[in-house]
């Protein structure tokens, strides 16, 4: 369901503060960020904080709890790790100020099976039908992770099937070419021609601080030094005050 085209457009173009919308458009757009794993939201974290601060209802949907690891925890694969990562995702969402964090509960590493049998699409359906704006990985999946690509592809497949006038605005998060963070681990991440990245969500220092707090929640995913430095690194190298997106269609 799309509340109004105009409301979605206000997010599309400038992610204008809610107060700047037309009086007839009092309902702020409903934003759904669809990603594969707890911690994937960090790749767009200050944008989510900015949207929440501006009054948008923001829901983060993780497809899997990430129960296969490995990350940096000593927990074995399985239920305890899933539980811990769900809690870390909730912590991250709270730090960002978003309205809801939802986990579809699909076992980690099994997304492809759930694409084939239609259950991932079924689990995502209501979230995408409800959204005015959908944010997800690009077709590259960031560094090519198959589950990132799958989630992006399914979200795209479902949104493109929505009828005109009732279709969410779909955006892929991306790194502009030439802006890879200068760390060895990220040199194989995908980049996008900046000319394609017409959309962006600007953030404030407070939004970036919220993103830093969100990163600190993901204790089982990264060493402490990485959690502390990650958002500053992304800010300095690739975001520079604005998380970059491409409108899918
Ligand atoms: Zn991931």
Ligand 1 centroid, distance to 116 Cα (angstroms): 20
Ligand 1 centroid, distance to 196 Cα (angstroms): 23
State the average pLDDT for the chain: 91
Ligand 1 centroid, distance to 20 Cα (angstroms): 34
- Nearest-5° angle of CA 64, CA 196, CA 186? 50
For the whole model, what pTM was predicted? 0.91
Closest to 181 (Cα-Cα) out of 230, 226, 249 = 230
Ligand 1 centroid, distance to 213 Cα (angstroms): 18
Ligand 1 centroid, distance to 36 Cα (angstroms): 6
Span of 11-15, 74-78, 103-107, 147-151 with lowest mean pLDDT? 11-15
Share of the chain above pLDDT 70, in %: 90
Determine phi and psi for 176, rounding to 5 degrees. -65, 140
Ligand 1 centroid, distance to 165 Cα (angstroms): 32
Ligand 1 centroid, distance to 40 Cα (angstroms): 5
Closest to 152 (Cα-Cα) out of 81, 88, 245, 89 = 245
pLDDT in tens, 24-76: 556 789 999 999 999 999 999 999 999 999 999 999 999 999 999 778 988 88
CA distance 190 to 143: 6
Ligand 1 centroid, distance to 34 Cα (angstroms): 11
Tokens 């974290």, located at residue: 45
Rounded alpha-carbon distances, angstroms, from residue 205 to 47, 209, 233, 242, 244: 12, 6, 14, 11, 17
Q: Is CATH 3.40.718.10 correct for 11-15+25-247?
A: no
Domain positions in the chain are 11-15+25-247
Q: What is the dihedral of CA 153, 157, 160, 162, to 10 degrees?
A: -130
pLDDT at 191 (0 to 100): 98
CA distance 115 to 123: 11
Half-sphere exposure of 84 toward its Cβ, with a 13 Å CA cutoff?
19
pLDDT tops 80 at residue 18: no
Tokens for 27, please give them: 């309902």
Where does the pLDDT of residue 22 fall: very low under 50, low under 70, confident under 90, or very high at 90 and above? low
pLDDT tops 80 at residue 227: yes
Ligand 1 centroid, distance to 43 Cα (angstroms): 9
CA distance 199 to 191: 15
């Amino acid at each position: 369901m799309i509340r109004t085209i105009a409301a979605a457009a206000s997010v599309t173009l400038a992610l204008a503060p809610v107060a700047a919308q037309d009086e007839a458009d009092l309902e702020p757009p409903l934003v759904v960020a669809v990603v594969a794993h707890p911690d994937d939201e960090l790749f767009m974290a200050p944008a989510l904080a900015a949207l929440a601060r501006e009054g948008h209802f923001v829901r983060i949907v993780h497809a899997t709890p990430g129960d296969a690891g490995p990350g940096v925890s000593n927990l074995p694969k399985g239920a305890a790790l899933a539980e811990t990562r769900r809690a870390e995702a909730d912590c991250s969402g709270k730090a960002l100020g978003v309205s809801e964090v939802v986990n579809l509960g699909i076992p980690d590493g099994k997304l492809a099976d759930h694409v084939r049998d239609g259950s991932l699409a079924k689990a995502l359906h209501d979230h995408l039908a409800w959204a005015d704006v959908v944010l997800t990985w690009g077709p590259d999946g960031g560094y090519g992770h198959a589950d990132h690509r799958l989630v992006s592809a399914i979200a795209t497949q479902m949104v493109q099937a929505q009828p005109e006038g009732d279709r969410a605005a779909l955006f892929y998060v991306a790194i502009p070419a030439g802006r890879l963070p200068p760390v060895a681990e990220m040199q194989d991440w995908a980049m996008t021609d900046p000319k394609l990245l017409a959309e962006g969500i600007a953030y404030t220092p407070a939004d970036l601080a919220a993103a830093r707090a969100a990163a600190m929640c993901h204790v089982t995913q990264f060493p402490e030094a990485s959690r502390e430095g990650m958002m500053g690194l992304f800010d300095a190298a690739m975001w520079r005050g604005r998380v970059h997106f491409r409108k899918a269609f």
